[in-house]
């Protein structure tokens, strides 16, 4: 399954610099608004030490990691919900992503123009939140008009229940709250707003883009941001886009690690962002391993074996018979699939098996 994260923020907060550093794409980083007019898509392979372990054990012809797509979306300005700047394009692009990476400027630099004339992370966050909320409110109001009429004319209980949930979203958005904070069950969300593709219902990670001297823990601006999003329960990652840019130009892992250690970091911003994205979207990885290929596959936590098989090919899910499952520690201990079988460490699972992170799987199917 493809995973796509949209990098958003006001102009000149470091979005494109960060994007260039973490992806294979090359957006133009410039000191003026709207240098990124169309969304740039960068494909990032997900680092996973377990793949390296399997490669050593299996010695396949090739290794295929899983990937994340990062989309650099045009900078937003006040009034975007009414079409100001590149607002309509921005809002259309953001509807397509699975999660939002909201980059917020948490550094001072007189040489880089701030679109609002000052560094204020809370104000910056509120600008984007407000514009997205206004667009969501417009969507909710349109549906409310339809549902109110249906509930009034027919007296239908289902329509009345949907109306009540929609009003919850309307009230929250009017109060300046994001849709993701509305208290509603998954069933209520699907019925009432599932077809609206609300912007503020998408999960979000905040990136506090700080100066080099503020690593690794951040500064007063990133502290303000953490406090402001505490109620959302959202992650705030402290990253220096300029440092990430320098790391991306280093080809040797040892050189990268030494560079990170100089700033008191144990891992790159990219690694932090990937881990946070997986956690945010409740994703896990399972593996297939054979002489031809060792490969990582991304699925939702809680998926059962047939659903996981369907990520490889729909026929695997449709004709699922069973799954043969090996745990990585057993592979490390016994060194080969044959030895694992002889030791009785390969389990045979049916349709109700819930796939675990790190499972090595082989599917039997018939169509």
Q: Which long-range contacts (CB under 8 A, 24 or more apart) does 38-41 make?
A: 38/74, 38/89, 39/6, 39/71, 39/72, 39/73, 39/74, 39/93, 40/16, 40/71, 40/72, 41/69, 41/70, 41/71, 41/72
Q: At 323, is the secondary structure helix, strand, or coil?
A: strand
Q: Token match 């090739």: residue? A: 62
Q: Is 93 annotated as a binding residue?
A: no
Q: Which of 51, 69, 48, 73 has its CA nearest to residue 60?
A: 51
Q: Is 17 annotated as a binding residue?
A: yes
What pLDDT does 29 receive?
54
Residue 58 near residue 340, CB atoms below 8 Å: no
Q: Which fold has domain 302-365?
A: Ubiquitin-like (UB roll) (3.10.20)
Q: At 324, is the secondary structure helix, strand, or coil?
A: strand
Residues 6+ apart with CB under 8 A from 91: 80, 81, 131, 132, 135, 199
For 160-222, the three-class secondary structure string (H helix, E strand, C coil) is HHHHHHHHHHHHHHHCCCCHHHCCCCHHHHHHHHCCCCCCCCCCEEEEEECCHHHCCCCCHHH
Residue 27 near residue 19, CB atoms below 8 Å: yes
Residue-level pLDDT, tens digit, the chain, 367 residues: 678 999 988 888 888 889 888 875 444 554 544 344 456 788 888 889 999 999 999 999 999 999 888 888 876 656 544 555 444 566 778 888 999 999 999 999 888 766 667 899 999 999 889 988 998 999 999 999 989 887 777 777 888 899 999 999 999 999 999 999 999 999 999 999 999 999 999 999 999 999 999 999 999 999 999 999 998 889 999 999 999 999 988 888 899 999 999 999 999 998 999 999 999 999 999 999 999 999 999 999 999 999 999 999 999 999 999 999 999 999 999 999 999 999 999 999 999 999 999 999 999 999 8
Q: What is the value of pTM for the model shown? A: 0.86
Q: Token match 């979203």: residue? A: 169
What pLDDT does 349 receive?
98
Please compute Rg for the chain using Cα positions.
23
Tokens of 204: 């979000």
Q: At 10, is the secondary structure helix, strand, or coil?
A: coil
- Structural domain boundaries in the chain: 4-47+66-117+202-280, 132-193, 302-365
Matching CATH topology for 4-47+66-117+202-280 and 302-365? no
State how far the Cα of 10 lies from the Cα of 125, in Å rounded to an integer.
9
Q: Which long-range contacts (CB under 8 A, 24 or more apart) does 137-140 make?
A: 137/170, 137/173, 137/174, 138/81, 139/196, 139/197, 139/198, 140/166, 140/169, 140/170, 140/173, 140/193, 140/196, 140/198
Q: Is 15 annotated as a binding residue?
A: yes
Question: What's the CATH superfamily of 4-47+66-117+202-280?
Answer: P-loop containing nucleotide triphosphate hydrolases (3.40.50.300)
State how far the Cα of 14 lies from the Cα of 170, in Å rounded to an integer.
33
Q: Is 13 annotated as a binding residue?
A: yes
């Amino acid at each position: 399954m493809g995973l796509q994260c949209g990098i958003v923020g006001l102009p000149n907060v470091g979005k494109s610099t960060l994007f260039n550093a973490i992806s294979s794409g090359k957006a133009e980083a410039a000191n003026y608004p709207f240098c990124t007019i169309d969304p740039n898509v960068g494909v990032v392979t997900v680092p996973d030490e377990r793949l390296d372990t399997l490669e050593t054990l299996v010695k396949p012809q090739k290794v295929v990691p899983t990937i994340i797509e990062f989309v650099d979306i045009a900078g937003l300005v006040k009034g975007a919900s009414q079409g100001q700047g590149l607002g309509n394009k921005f809002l259309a692009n953001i509807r397509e992503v699975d999660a939002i990476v909201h980059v917020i400027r948490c550094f001072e630099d007189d040489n880089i123009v701030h679109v609002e004339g000052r560094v204020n992370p809370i104000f910056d966050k509120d600008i984007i939140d407000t514009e997205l909320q206004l667009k969501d409110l417009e969507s909710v109001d349109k549906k409310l008009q339809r549902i109110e009429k249906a509930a009034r004319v027919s007296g239908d209980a289902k329509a009345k229940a949907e109306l009540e949930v929609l009003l919850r979203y309307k009230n929250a958005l009017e109060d300046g709250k994001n849709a993701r904070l509305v208290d509603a069950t998954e069933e209520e969300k699907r019925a009432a707003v599932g077809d609206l593709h609300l912007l503020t219902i998408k999960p979000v990670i905040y990136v506090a883009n700080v100066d080099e001297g503020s690593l690794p823990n951040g500064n007063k601006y990133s502290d303000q941001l953490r406090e402001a999003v505490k109620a959302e329960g959202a992650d705030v990652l402290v990253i220096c886009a300029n440092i990430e840019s320098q790391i991306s130009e280093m080809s040797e892992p040892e050189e990268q690690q030494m560079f990170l250690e100089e700033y008191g970091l144990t891992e790159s911003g990219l690694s932090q962002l990937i881990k946070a994205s997986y956690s945010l979207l409740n994703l896990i990885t399972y593996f297939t391993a054979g002489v031809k290929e060792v490969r990582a596959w991304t699925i939702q936590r809680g998926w059962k074996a047939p659903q996981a098989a369907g990520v490889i090919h729909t026929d695997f899910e449709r004709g699922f018979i069973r799954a043969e499952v090996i745990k990585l520690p057993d592979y490390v201990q016994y060194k080969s699939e044959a030895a694992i079988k002889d030791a009785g460490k390969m389990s045979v699972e049916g349709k109700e098996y819930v796939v675990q992170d790190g499972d090595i799987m082989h599917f039997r199917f018939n169509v």
